[in-house]
Amino acid sequence: MAQRLGFSAAFNWTHPAQIFREHAALSGFENNGQRAFDISALAALSDSEWDRLRPVQWPVNAQHPEGCARLFADRRFYHSDGKARLIPPETGQTATVDLHYPLLMNTGRIRDQWHTMTRTGAVPRLMQHCDEPFIALHPEDANHYGVTAGTLARVQSHHGWIVARVSLDTGLRRGELFVPMHWNRQFSQRSNVDTLVAATRCPASGQPALKQTAVRIQPISTDWQGWLWRRDHQAPTGIRYWARAPQQGVQRFALGGEGTPQSWLASQHDLTGLQLQIAAGGHDYRLLAWRDGELALAFYAGSQRPTLDHAFVAAGFATPVQSAAQRHALLAGQASQGSAAGRIICSCFAVGEKTIAQAIAQGCATPQALGNKLRCGTNCGSCIPELKQLLISCITEKI
């Protein structure tokens, strides 16, 4: 991009190490010990040394060529007199719960997403771990307010409301709930949490009041829930709830609607000229639409959200399905042999929950052992807390 803007000379790098060397040199420019971030000792790394570079904590400079175990170990801070500057801010008004808004909502990021998902949300691999907006609360609070795991609920504050799926978490304190901040209206119908938060901020830091909002929660009823796969990402209309998760070569929508799923689908898509494969019985309705031998649309709905092998369905859009048996399996939403991996825990290497549980049963007793066997937790490391939880739960089940 810089080259196209006419800055080729300043952006003529051919290797990431060149960028890093410039970054490291700039950290020491006019620093003279005035800033904590200083990695200028790494500015002369060769390309091969950069490839082998292991994590190191800054500052990494002439005074600390090997880095520092921790900052301020010498009891000096980055001011001329070596003393810290402690600023006692005025305590701002905190959110208070009442009879109408009895819960405190916290919001923040989740493991594999960043800000409003404008880039990370388009990466199918990052959607494998957590693919839908959620409301996490303690099981006892969920029972008290009449919501259950996996169902839809509405959270409302003085400022607005959202709809998302309920998730139970015993690690949350009673009287509090957590909603991730990432989902915007490109990815969900009404799960953008900023509509709940007051437009107030800390007068000293400018930090918005994101961590405590008085809210209430109530269940949302739908006549049916389901899944829709199609190749474009146009937002559905005429429905109570939707959330989009990009898959490889296809978009998947989680849905919740009123009336019948058949009538809603007919209002959204003109299926004229497509070869249709339909299974309907009781409250269930499933439809595959084919165009010239390629899958154009897949729809699965019922009074309860159908359980599917999502990787198998998504693969049907990537590779033409040849046999009648394969088409029937796709209509069922399950590969004939079933899914072996389970819910994805390690996004880096696509390692699923069932695969990890099997390795634990075979003797892997630590995250390191799981990493040696399955590679999970050996790249970015963000799945290690979940690996530890799986180890605890599997060991507890044995006891």
Please tell me the predicted confidence (pLDDT) of residue 152: 97
Q: Predicted confidence band at 100 (pLDDT cuts at 50, 70, 90)?
A: very high
> Looking at residue 122, what DSSP letter applies?
G
- Mean pLDDT on 108-119: 90
Cα 353 versus chain centre, distance? 16
Flag the least confident range among 77-91, 284-298, 379-393: 77-91
Q: Cis omega before residue 59 (within 30°)?
A: yes
Please tell me the predicted confidence (pLDDT) of residue 399: 57
Cα 68 versus chain centre, distance? 33
DSSP string, 210-275: -S-EEEEEEE---SEEEEEEESS-PPP-S-SEEEEEEETTEEEEEEEESS-HHHHHHHH---TTSE
- Mean pLDDT on 382-398: 84
> Looking at residue 114, what DSSP letter applies?
-
DSSP string, 57-104: PSP-SSS-TT--SSTTTTS--SSTTS------PPPPPPP---SSS-EE
User: Taking 90 as the threshold, does the pLDDT of residue 68 lie above it?
Assistant: no
| Per-residue b or e along 98-129, where b marks 16 or more CB atoms closer than 10 Å to that residue's CB | eeebebbbebeebebbeebbeebbeebebbbb
Q: Predicted confidence band at 340 (pLDDT cuts at 50, 70, 90)?
A: low
Hey, what are 49's tokens? 């040394």
Please tell me the predicted confidence (pLDDT) of residue 209: 84
User: Taking 60 as the threshold, does the pLDDT of residue 182 lie above it?
Assistant: yes
| Percent of the chain scoring above 90 in pLDDT | 63
Hey, what are 220's tokens? 């949302």
User: Taking 60 as the threshold, does the pLDDT of residue 115 lie above it?
Assistant: yes
Q: Predicted confidence band at 360 (pLDDT cuts at 50, 70, 90)?
A: very high
Residue for token digits 């249709």?
276
Please tell me the predicted confidence (pLDDT) of residue 44: 94
Please tell me the predicted confidence (pLDDT) of residue 323: 84
User: Taking 70 as the threshold, does the pLDDT of residue 338 lie above it?
Assistant: no
pLDDT tens digit string along 243-270?
999 998 899 999 999 999 999 999 999 9
At CB < 8 A and 24+ separation, what contacts does 288-296 make? Answer: 288/327, 288/330, 288/331, 293/320, 294/320, 295/229, 295/320, 295/321, 295/330, 296/230, 296/231
Cα–Cα distance measured from residue 37 to residue 18, given in angstroms and rounded to the nearest whole number: 19
* CA dihedral (379, 385, 387, 391) positive or negative: positive
Please tell me the predicted confidence (pLDDT) of residue 336: 63
User: Taking 80 as the threshold, does the pLDDT of residue 396 lie above it?
Assistant: no
Please tell me the predicted confidence (pLDDT) of residue 40: 95
Q: Classify residue 86 by burial, with Cβ atoms within 10 Å: 0-12, 13-18, 19+.
A: exposed
Flag the least confident range among 109-123, 325-339, 354-368: 325-339
pLDDT tens digit string along 1-32?
888 999 989 888 899 999 999 999 999 999 98
Please tell me the predicted confidence (pLDDT) of residue 195: 93
- What is the greatest pairwise CA distance in the chain? 79
Contact 219, 151 (CB under 8 A): yes
Please tell me the predicted confidence (pLDDT) of residue 144: 97
Q: Predicted confidence band at 93 (pLDDT cuts at 50, 70, 90)?
A: low
Please tell me the predicted confidence (pLDDT) of residue 102: 97
Full set of structural domains in the chain with CATH: 1-86 (no CATH), 103-219 (2.40.40.20), 243-332 (no CATH), 344-398 (1.10.10.1100)
pLDDT tens digit string along 190-222?
999 999 998 888 777 788 888 889 999 999 999
* CA dihedral (389, 392, 394, 397) positive or negative: negative
**Integer Rg of the chain from CA:** 26
- Mean pLDDT on 311-335: 88
Question: Which residues does residue 155 pair with via DSSP β-bridges, in sequence order?
Answer: 162, 217
Question: Which residues does residue 178 pair with via DSSP β-bridges, in sequence order?
Answer: 106, 136
Helix (H) or strand (E) holding 276: strand 275-281
User: Taking 80 as the threshold, does the pLDDT of residue 92 lie above it?
Assistant: no
